[in-house]
Structure 1
Amino acid sequence: MSNNTDDQRPELEPPQQPSASDLLGEALGSAARRAGLDPAKEASTGHVVWHAMGGWRGILESVLPGLVFIIVFTLTIDPGTGEGDLWLSLGLSVGIAAVFTVIRLIARQPVTAAVGGLVAAGAAAALAVFTGEASNNFIPGFITNALYGSALLISALIGWSLIGLAVGFLMGEGTAWRNDPRKRRVFFWLAISWASLFAARLAVQLPLYFADNVTALGTLKLVMGIPLFAPMVAVTWLVVRALYRTETK
């Protein structure tokens, strides 16, 4: 008599592999959570924005190297040639970024932001030194703005807003937000708003780059940095929090 027990056992389904959108959403959500941008947590808007900027240290790490470069370059401009001391300006800028990194290492604090700033400052300085043009110090920033802006714009246009992917995984709903027309509209316009910020930076700064106006270019880069980034973080936070609070009522 044959035993058919094995034949009657249900076949186990192979584990489902996460899709590309799942992986990207998890990565974006994790990054947003580390930056303090978790709508599920009760926190004031001011606290969220301050945490996203990294507090006073994060602001100094973002602003001071570039500020020192502009000040030193401007103060050392030779009236005859119209050029500032490129080596001194870049050396002090990269040196300050290195000091911030060392301080974090000594204090055993997360060094991701500081190291990122140091690498960016070093790459920009190397490009400027290699070409002999101080304005080329800003090229990596242009590339970053172009990449971020393009990614956000394309994601919005194809219906897979990067803002939506990040928020969806922060709120534990994955990509289910795409089935809600209201959420899709909100995340579409948020992504468009962020893309517009990056596009505005390029539209204002590129003409100054081609005009080789290093002082004005550096000044506007600082003005269009944190002073524009902070309000965008606040608006995004408030809109997303309102969207999900309305849903839970």
Structure 2
Amino acid sequence: MAGSQQEVGPPADPADPVETVEAVVRRQLGAALGGRRGMVEAAVPTLLFTLTWLTQRQLTLALMVSVGAALVLLAVRLVQRSTPQFVLNALFGIAIGWVFVRIAASRGGDADAQALAYFLPGILYNAGYSVIFALTCLVGWPVVGFMVGSVTGDPTAWHEDKQVVRLCTQLTWLLALPCVLRVAVQAPIYLAGTSGGIDADAAVAALGVLKIALGWPLQLAALGTMVWLLGRNHTPLTPAQESG
């Protein structure tokens, strides 16, 4: 009797295997994004940095306010004993931005150049992800497939099923799209601001707004499209242990 309890229905044990690829991907994407709270925690430090710089014109103060906000969010997470992963991600992003600010300063860049440099890591980050996601799709090993593999226990067994590969390729392209759009919109503004094509303050303001507007809202749009695509399919997930 116990061996026949593989029918679809509410699992009695959270450790029970997931029955479809779609369910695996939905769960993994939800964990990766951190939900609404994780997205807000990522946006607040950038918003405060931009507002402080535009109103006070003091780069050190803007960085301190940004870090301070992230530390407050981190303290709340620790008090509530919930995962600090997404706040730590925000702090890491601020730290990388500060490094680029210092590099700009060491090269003789003025305050405007340093403020613009704060946004350069995000542009490079999205450009890198765009290339990686695209390459994995083009070579037939889409990133989302490894999300499936991390759950089944075999990182590559999913690749034997062409239906799964096709679904994972579509989902990986959808993950890449927000990154491509961010680079396409933000990179020209950054370049125009650093070259004097547009006012540096206007460029900083635009980059700050776009970093937030093209952040979680765009990610949610992509996720919504993924959910729609996943809802149209019901691809069986074969447990890795069956091949042993």
CA distance in 1, matches of 2:35, 2:168: 27
TM-score, length of structure 1 as denominator length: 0.69
* One-letter identity of the residue aligned with 1:40: A
Q: CA deviation at 1:87?
A: 1.8
- Render the CA deviation track for 1:69-122: whole Å, top value 9, x for unaligned: 11122223xxxxxxx321221211111112112222233222222112112112
Q: CA deviation at 1:156?
A: 0.6
* One-letter identity of the residue aligned with 1:108: R
For the pair shown, the structure with the greater C-alpha radius of gyration is 1
Partner of 2:207: 217
Counting only pairs closer than 5 Å after superposition, residues 1-249 of structure 1 correspond to structure 2 as 39-40=22-23, 53-76=33-56, 84-132=57-105, 133-170=114-151, 174-212=155-193, 213-243=203-233, 245=234, 247=236
CA distance in 2, matches of 1:127, 1:174: 36
Q: CA separation of 1:48/1:150 partners in 2, compared to 1, >3 Å: closer, same or farther?
A: closer
Q: CA deviation at 1:177?
A: 3.5
Gap regions ≥5 residues in structure 1: 1-32, 77-83
CA distance in 2, matches of 1:50, 1:247: 20
- Taking only aligned residues, the RMSD between alpha carbons, in angstroms, comes to 2.9
Tell me if structure 2 keeps the 8 A contact 1:156–1:191. yes
Fraction of identical pairs, as percent: 30
Partner of 2:13: none
Tell me if structure 2 keeps the 8 A contact 1:178–1:184. yes
Q: CA separation of 1:174/1:131 partners in 2, compared to 1, >3 Å: closer, same or farther?
A: closer
Q: CA deviation at 1:50?
A: 7.1
Secondary structure, aligned partner of 2:119: helix
Gap regions ≥5 residues in structure 2: 1-17, 106-113, 194-202, 238-244
* One-letter identity of the residue aligned with 2:39: I
* One-letter identity of the residue aligned with 2:221: P
Tell me if structure 1 keeps the 8 A contact 2:133–2:143. yes
Tell me if structure 1 keeps the 8 A contact 2:42–2:89. no
* One-letter identity of the residue aligned with 1:219: V
Q: CA separation of 1:131/1:59 partners in 2, compared to 1, >3 Å: closer, same or farther?
A: same
Q: CA deviation at 1:148?
A: 1.6
Q: Number of matched residues?
A: 200
CA distance in 2, matches of 1:179, 1:48: 21
